[in-house]
């Protein structure tokens, strides 16, 4: 089974062009599944039945894993067994009868426009670090960027004169995302007056847009820490993270009447069903408004 997993991961990364981060997630999920199986099942996958698959997923629930992590585990397993079947390594896809656990999917936490505004204004605009952080937050919210897309953003991807940026997302797929003039102005001010102060070694800085105080590319972990710190200082609910801005970007566009297909393109979602989660968020918000203000509620 371990050899089959290696073949699968190589095929996904090379032939399908999946990102290294997605490959790591698949590897982690399949490692956990491998450890869950008995030695006999590892040696002969035909012994694995539906109850063993569901048992593995339910074990994840007992361990307190997030619904999204459990759903991803199922996707990883289904992709793996589909690959084995297509390659003739097993006679049939043993996971074909398994449904995706849609009921386990939780709705993303969305910040209100006022909360986003408070977060964006939290960095100290008088300091070099604060000006950089404000520019980062502006761009993340303006374009709905993933944190991985932000840390790898290069100067040549910025096209502010034409009002857009070019993003390389999951699977190395590129997309064009419009940028509001106010956000572009904030980032341009950082590029003109702050970024040069952060460059210690031009070779380290290269084309990376957002730099650390040491002049190197910021890491995803550091950006998570920064946003958590700024959110706490701004008095926002516990649990705000980089993806909160991406979720808020999509939800606010939908609330303002933007077509779902357009939001899908700007987020870089391969499947419209991924974007549709925000329609449920908007419905939930409408129910809350109805409950709070309708006289018959």
List the chain pLDDT tens, one digit each, 297 residues. 888 888 888 877 766 666 778 888 889 999 999 998 888 888 888 788 878 888 888 888 888 888 888 888 888 888 888 888 888 887 877 787 676 555 455 557 789 999 999 999 999 989 999 999 999 999 999 999 999 999 999 999 999 999 999 998 877 789 999 999 999 999 999 999 999 999 988 777 789 999 999 999 999 889 999 999 999 999 998 888 888 999 999 999 988 888 889 999 999 988 787 787 777 666 665 566 556 655 655
Catalytic residue among 61, 72, 168, 170: 170
Domain 2-104: give its CATH architecture.
Orthogonal Bundle (1.10)
CA–CA separation, 7 vs 3, rounded Å? 6
Catalytic residue among 73, 132, 146, 252: 146
CB-based burial of residue 76 (10 Å sphere; 0-12 exposed, 13-18 middle, 19+ buried)?
buried
CA–CA separation, 221 vs 297, rounded Å? 44
Catalytic site residue 243? Answer: yes
Catalytic residue among 73, 132, 134, 246: 246
Q: Which residues contact 268 (CB under 8 A, 6 or more apart)?
A: 167, 169, 170, 173, 175
Question: Which residue ranges make up each domain of the chain?
Answer: 2-104, 113-291
Determine contact, residues 106/281, Cβ cutoff 8 Å.
no
Return the CATH class of domain 113-291.
mainly alpha
Catalytic residue among 132, 195, 247, 269: 269
CA–CA separation, 167 vs 146, rounded Å? 10
The structure's pTM equals 0.65
Catalytic site residue 269? Answer: yes
Burial 43-53 (b: 16+ CB within 10 A, else e): eebeebeeeeb
Furthest CA-CA distance within the chain: 65
- DSSP letter assigned to residue 190: I
Q: Which residues contact 224 (CB under 8 A, 6 or more apart)?
A: 147, 241, 242
């Amino acid at each position: 089974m371990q050899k089959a997993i290696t073949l699968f991961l190589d095929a996904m990364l090379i032939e399908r062009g999946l990102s290294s981060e997605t490959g790591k997630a698949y590897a982690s999920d399949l490692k956990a599944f491998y450890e869950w199986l008995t030695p006999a099942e590892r040696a002969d996958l035909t012994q694995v039945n539906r109850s063993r698959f569901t048992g593995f997923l339910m074990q994840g629930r007992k361990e307190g894993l997030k619904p999204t992590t459990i759903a991803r585990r199922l996707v990883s397993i289904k992709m793996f067994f589909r690959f084995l079947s297509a390659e003739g390594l097993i006679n049939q896809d043993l996971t074909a009868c398994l449904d995706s656990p849609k009921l386990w999917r939780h709705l993303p936490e969305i910040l209100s426009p006022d909360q986003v505004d408070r977060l964006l204004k939290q960095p100290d605009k008088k300091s070099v670090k604060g000006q950089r952080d404000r520019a980062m937050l502006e761009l993340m919210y303006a374009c709905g960027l993933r944190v991985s897309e932000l840390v790898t953003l290069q100067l040549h991807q910025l096209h502010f004169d034409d009002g857009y940026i070019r993003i390389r997302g999951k699977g190395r797929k590129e997309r064009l995302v419009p940028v509001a003039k106010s956000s572009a102005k904030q980032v341009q001010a950082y590029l003109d007056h702050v970024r040069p102060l952060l460059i210690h070694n031009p070779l380290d800085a290269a084309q990376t847009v957002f730099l650390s105080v040491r002049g190197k590319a910021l890491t995803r972990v550091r950006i998570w820490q920064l946003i958590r710190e700024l959110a706490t200082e701004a008095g926002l609910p516990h649990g705000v993270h980089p993806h909160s801005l991406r979720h808020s970007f999509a939800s606010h566009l939908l609330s303002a009447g933007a077509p779902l297909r357009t939001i899908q393109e700007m987020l870089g979602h391969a499947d419209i069903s991924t974007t549709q989660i925000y329609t449920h968020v908007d419905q939930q918000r409408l129910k809350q408004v109805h409950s709070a203000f309708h006289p018959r509620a």
